[in-house]
């Protein structure tokens, strides 16, 4: 049996999460900012109506925020992750297979459900149930391929007459919608590629669907060829319900203030390393390679500089002390005094599973001390008994911490910040 994909996508997800706990904001324009309160990453429909663009730096719209009384939030990922989990759990109760595709959307395989109801009825039911259980509004696009399901969802969002559900299983309907959708709105077609396609006279999804897949592969890549085939109803992407093991782990931040002191930089990077190692342990992996970098602002007019260094370990590790001491050795050789560094980060790669760690000839097998120490620290954190830091992380966080001037309470993940009902 041919698969049928339903793409369920939350509307204005971050902004909607904030509104869930603030009914007083119901009809007000709300925006959510990226880390460091840098740019706009989510807008409520009222904010969209005020023509606030996605990704715009917040300092460029300060006046508008003030005059239109736009409500501003810093990102609160703990809250969004928790709401996301609730949405996904509800979807899992309604459909046989769920692939969590991102924090605010999921593909559901619904081919077998056609015997019970029409796809439109199914979509409306999903929408009503998520609304009732969580208070989150979703749109549903249903089609024989993931790319067409994305397109259907796009239509459901754009045209209110659809009531948020588009069944795109009918080829004639596919053609009609594709003719209306600009090619840059197709899943997998970004800025660069749409520009090149436009230059060739391909401006709509339908024109891309009608292009010759072999030619597209030659001129672009196998990736875009798959997109063309998917637009024609030929599935190239399947459901991926098992979370795949990560290939790399990245921790990077922009600083709240420019960093001009090497010792503070060392502390900041050590802190990122500690976070990364925690993520490694959560994934049950050890890394053989870590790289770190620090850089001046990409946008700054003044002099620029960045340092970058890859560190290879003989033996994979998830212990921050191992990575931090190597980073500490290398940092002075990369550092330049006088540059206002704006951002830094660490990347872990070359993962091994802890239970199959390969020792080299001269390595001592671990005595388990480090593992027990780290496990104890993780446990203390998990139980909320306080926070432990390695000395290399320092105690100067306020000097470089990201800005978060508008963060909402952790309504669902911290006892002290639970929502109150009066």
Nearer to DNA by Cβ, of 95 and 147: the residue is: 147
**Minimum distance, C-beta of residue 128 to DNA, in the bound complex (Å):** 22
Task: Give the nearer residue to DNA in terms of CB position, either 61 or 126.
Answer: 61
Choice between 205 and 377, CB closer to DNA: 205
CA dist 237 and 267 (Å) reads 43
Mark 241-270 as b/e (b = at least 16 C-beta within 10 Å): eeeeeeeebebbbbbbeebeebebbbbbbb
Note whether 281 and 378 are within 8 A (CB): yes
What are the residues binding DNA (CB under 7 A)?
Answer: 34-36, 38-39, 41, 55, 57, 59, 101-105, 150, 186-194, 221-223, 244, 246-254, 258, 279, 297, 299-300, 310, 342-343, 345, 402
What number of other Cβ atoms are within 10 A of residue 81's Cβ? 13
- Determine whether 186 is exposed, middle or buried from the number of CB atoms within 10 Å of its CB (0-12, 13-18, 19+): buried
CB of 272 to DNA, least distance (A): 8
Provide the token pair at 95: 């459909």
Residue closer to DNA by CB (options 299, 362) is 299
Smallest distance from DNA to CB 385, Å = 24
Give kind and range of the element (H or E) at residue 289: strand 286-296
The nearest distance, CB 224 to DNA, in angstroms, is 8
Closest residue by Cα to residue 153 from 166, 162, 136:
166
Q: How far is the CB of 81 from DNA (least distance, A)?
A: 12
Between 73 and 113, CB nearer to DNA: 73
3-state secondary structure of 328: helix
Q: Provide the minimum distance between the beta carbon of 207 and DNA in the complex, in angstroms, as a whole number.
A: 16
Q: In the complex with DNA, which residue's Cβ is closer, 122 or 224?
A: 224
């Amino acid at each position: 049996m041919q698969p049928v994909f339903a793409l369920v996508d939350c509307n204005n997800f971050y902004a909607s999460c904030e509104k869930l706990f603030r009914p007083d904001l119901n009809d007000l324009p709300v925006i959510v900012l990226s880390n460091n309160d840098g740019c706009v990453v989510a807008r409520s429909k009222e904010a969209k109506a005020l023509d606030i663009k996605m990704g715009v730096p917040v300092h460029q719209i300060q006046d508008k925020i003030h005059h239109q009384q736009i409500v501003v939030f810093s990102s609160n990922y703990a809250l969004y992750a928790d709401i996301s989990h609730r949405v996904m759990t509800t979807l899992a109760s309604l459909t046989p297979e769920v692939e969590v595709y991102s924090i605010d959307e999921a593909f559901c395989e619904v081919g077998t459900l056609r015997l019970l109801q029409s796809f439109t009825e199914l979509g409306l039911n999903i929408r009503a149930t998520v609304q009732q259980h969580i208070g989150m509004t979703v749109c549903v696009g249903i089609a024989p391929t993931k790319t067409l399901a994305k397109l259907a969802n796009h239509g459901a969002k754009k045209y209110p007459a659809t009531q948020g559900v588009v069944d795109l299983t009918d080829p004639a309907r596919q053609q009609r919608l594709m003719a209306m959708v600009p090619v840059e709105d197709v899943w997998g077609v970004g800025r660069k590629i749409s520009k090149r396609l436009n230059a060739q006279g391909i401006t709509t999804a339908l024109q891309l669907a009608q292009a010759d897949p072999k030619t597209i592969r030659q001129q672009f890549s196998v990736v875009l060829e798959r997109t063309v085939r998917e637009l024609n109803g030929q599935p190239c992407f399947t459901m991926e319900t098992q979370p795949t093991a990560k290939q790399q782990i990245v921790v990077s931040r922009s600083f709240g203030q420019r960093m001009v002191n090497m010792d503070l930089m060392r502390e900041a990077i050590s802190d990122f390393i500690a976070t990364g190692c925690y993520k490694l342990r959560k994934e049950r992996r050890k890394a053989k390679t870590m790289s770190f970098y620090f850089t001046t602002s990409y946008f700054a007019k003044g002099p620029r500089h960045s340092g970058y260094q890859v560190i290879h370990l003989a033996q994979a590790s998830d212990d921050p002390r191992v990575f931090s001491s190597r980073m500490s050795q290398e940092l002075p050789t990369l550092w330049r005094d006088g540059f206002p560094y704006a951002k830094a980060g660490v990347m872990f790669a070359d993962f091994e599973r802890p239970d199959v760690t390969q020792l080299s000839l001269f390595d001592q097998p671990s005595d388990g001390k480090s593992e027990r120490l780290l496990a104890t620290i993780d446990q203390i954190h998990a139980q909320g008994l306080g926070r432990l830091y390695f000395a290399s992380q320092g105690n100067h966080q306020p000097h470089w911490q990201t800005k978060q001037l508008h963060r909402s309470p952790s309504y669902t993940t911290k006892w002290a910040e639970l929502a109150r009902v009066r």
